[in-house]
């Protein structure tokens, strides 16, 4: 049985597997080397030779328990025909959303546009060196994708003032997102992904009254869909105020927590396997502090099924040596 499955399916508490959100990425010089020669990020994701190679880069360097496919949550709007670009020092920039155009896209057009992501999943999942590792497929949650598609850029700065104005548009788009996320998930699984993680990076932006419509209902539909394919699903509703309510309603197989979550409180509140939590900024400090902070999570979750990970993606300025350190700390615990 693969390491993450032991935790999520068997509820094993005798060890803690480790992988790192954004483990393939800019903190690795070998990634920056490839990125330098490939200025178009979408094309890089669609180049299955390179994207499978990038997926393997952290696995070659470190003793990680899972590979996460090198792709992006914004491949979904791209597959739907919305323009998606990544601008240096700005981040994603999306074209205007056209409901008429997007409504015309069918499953065949969508898969045709992004099928090389699935080819990369296949290449990685059939690599014999990864036999004892999990292959993580992923999607953005409907809400987070809606945010990028309507806002046309990261909501880091702010959401458009009239974001919620066109209720009809928003609800139509949500349904389209949900429909194609199922296609996207199924294709990743058919090509060898054996865990799915749903990233809801902007869950924290919503008020409580809006959670059922934008988060609980569409995410529950996806979770049930993944479960119907017999693959475990991890949810990461980053900065949501009430993780317990989320888990009670959506019922993922495991929950990934952000670094503002109090691990002692969540341990009391939540019965399902837990993942993550450590603040990525701790990897910018020193070995002793890293050990102290990692031990906090390992101690608190020592009798609970727990996958070690960070509370958000690894920062680009992280020294790869600190990644080696954290893996040693977790494996020797």
Binding site for ligand 1CP (CB under 6 A): 21-26, 35, 41, 68, 70, 72-74, 86, 91-92, 138, 154, 156, 199, 201, 313
The nearer residue to ligand 1CP, 21 or 173, going by C-beta atoms, is 21
Q: What are the Cα distances from residue 161, in Å, to 22, 146, 149, 194?
A: 30, 15, 15, 40
The nearer residue to ligand 1CP, 189 or 291, going by C-beta atoms, is 189
Q: How far is the CB of 166 from ligand 1CP (least distance, A)?
A: 22
CA 148 to chain centre: 15
Query: Euclidean distance between the first and final Cα of the chain, in Å?
Result: 21
Q: What are the Cα distances from residue 33, in Å, to 37, 51, 56, 184, 324?
A: 7, 13, 15, 29, 20
The nearer residue to ligand 1CP, 87 or 319, going by C-beta atoms, is 87
CA 1 to chain centre: 22
Task: Give 95-143 as a DSSP string.
Answer: PPP-HHHHHH--HHHHHHHHHHHHHHHHHHHT-GGGTTSEEEEEEE-HH
The nearer residue to ligand 1CP, 92 or 237, going by C-beta atoms, is 92
Q: How far is the CB of 127 from ligand 1CP (least distance, A)?
A: 16
Residue number with the smallest Cβ distance to ligand 1CP? 154
Q: How far is the CB of 67 from ligand 1CP (least distance, A)?
A: 9
The nearer residue to ligand 1CP, 13 or 154, going by C-beta atoms, is 154
Q: How far is the CB of 35 from ligand 1CP (least distance, A)?
A: 5
Q: Strand (E) positions, 172-321? A: 195-199, 233-236, 254-257, 274-276, 306-307
Q: How far is the CB of 23 from ligand 1CP (least distance, A)?
A: 5
């Amino acid at each position: 049985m693969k390491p993450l499955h032991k935790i999520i399916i068997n509820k094993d508490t005798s060890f803690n597997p480790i992988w790192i959100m954004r483990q393939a990425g800019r903190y690795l010089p070998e990634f920056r080397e490839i990125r330098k020669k490939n200025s178009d990020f979408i094309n890089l994701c669609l180049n299955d030779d390179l994207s499978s190679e990038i997926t393997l880069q952290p696995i070659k360097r470190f003793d990680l328990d899972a590979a996460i496919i090198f792709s992006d949550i914004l491949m979904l709007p791209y597959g739907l025909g919305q323009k998606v670009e990544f601008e240096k020092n700005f981040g994603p920039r999306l074209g205007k959303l056209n409901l008429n155009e997007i409504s015309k896209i069918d499953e065949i057009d969508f898969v045709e546009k992004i099928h090389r992501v699935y080819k990369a999943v296949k290449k990685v999942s059939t690599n014999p060196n990864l036999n004892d590792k999990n292959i993580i497929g992923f999607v953005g949650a409907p809400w987070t994708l809606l945010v990028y598609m309507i806002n046309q850029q990261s909501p880091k700065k702010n959401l458009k003032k009239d974001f919620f104005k066109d209720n009809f548009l928003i609800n139509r788009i949500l349904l389209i997102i949900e429909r194609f996320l199922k296609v996207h998930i199924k294709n990743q699984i058919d090509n060898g992904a054996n865990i799915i993680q749903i990233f809801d990076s902007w869950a924290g932006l919503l008020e409580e009254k809006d959670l059922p419509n934008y988060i609980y209902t569409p995410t529950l539909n996806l979770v049930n869909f993944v479960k119907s394919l017999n693959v475990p699903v991890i949810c990461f509703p980053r900065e949501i105020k009430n993780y317990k309510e989320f888990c009670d309603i959506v019922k993922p197989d495991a929950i990934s927590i952000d670094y503002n979550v109090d691990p002692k409180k969540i341990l009391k509140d939540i019965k399902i396997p837990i993942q993550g939590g450590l603040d990525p900024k701790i990897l910018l400090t020193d070995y002793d502090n890293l050990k102290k902070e990692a031990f906090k999570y390992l101690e608190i979750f020592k009798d609970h099924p727990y996958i070690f990970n960070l509370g958000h993606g690894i920062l680009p300025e992280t020294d790869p040596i600190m990644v080696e350190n954290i893996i040693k700390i977790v494996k020797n615990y």
